[in-house]
Amino acid sequence: MAEIVVFHHAQGLTDGMRAFAGRLHDAGHHVHLPDVFDGRTFDDLEAGVAHAREIGFGKVTERGVRAVESLPTEIVYAGFSMGVMPAQKLAQTRPRALGALFFDACLPVSEFGEAWPQNLPVQVHGGSDDEWFDEDLAAARELVAAAGDAELFLYPGTAHLFADSSLAGHDESATGDLTERTLTFLDRLS
């Protein structure tokens, strides 16, 4: 069993995010699901991004960092889209991380340090037809090339946040593949 923290995307802690965390929990993993939007959810991505801008992306990231202060350091950090910001920061800067899972986003490693931590496994998942992820694809490829234990998975024909079952762009088949790969990754770290 791995311990994992999953940070939600800009539409908030949706039912689809809870369902994804539930799948990990049902597979035997201990899942933490902090809400950096204090209960607010948004019907569309643009409204959620506008809310995050209003708060400030730096403050959103710091809310995520504060949310794990009482958790063990031996943990896997995961994030969906905007949630990759705190997940990646913590994976790169909090000692003894076990692994990282980035869904629908990836920031340049230089955002949080000079290099990816040695021996820290990472998976990056994104839609090959996702315009939002397209701007992060170069950073994802650089991370995978630089990290020793890293994989990049692209899902054809998928929209942004395709793994959130409560959103219109949900793709059940691609989500099944993503979930299987995620669980294999977590089982390996247990």
User: Domain segments of the chain: what residues?
Assistant: 3-189
pLDDT in tens, 147-169: 989 999 999 999 999 999 999 99
State which CATH number among 3.40.50.720, 3.40.50.510, 3.40.50.1820, 3.40.50.620 fits the domain covering 3-189.
3.40.50.1820
Does the pLDDT of residue 114 top 90, yes or no?
no
What is the share, in percent, of the chain residues with pLDDT greater than 70?
A: 100
- Residue ranges in the chain assigned as alpha helix (H): 15-26, 45-55, 57-67, 84-93, 131-134, 137-146, 172-189
Q: Which residues contact 5 (CB under 8 A, 6 or more apart)?
A: 31, 32, 33, 34, 67, 68, 71, 75, 76, 77, 78, 87, 90
Using pLDDT thresholds of 50, 70 and 90, give the confidence band for residue 174. Answer: very high
pTM here is 0.97
Does the pLDDT of residue 100 top 90, yes or no?
yes
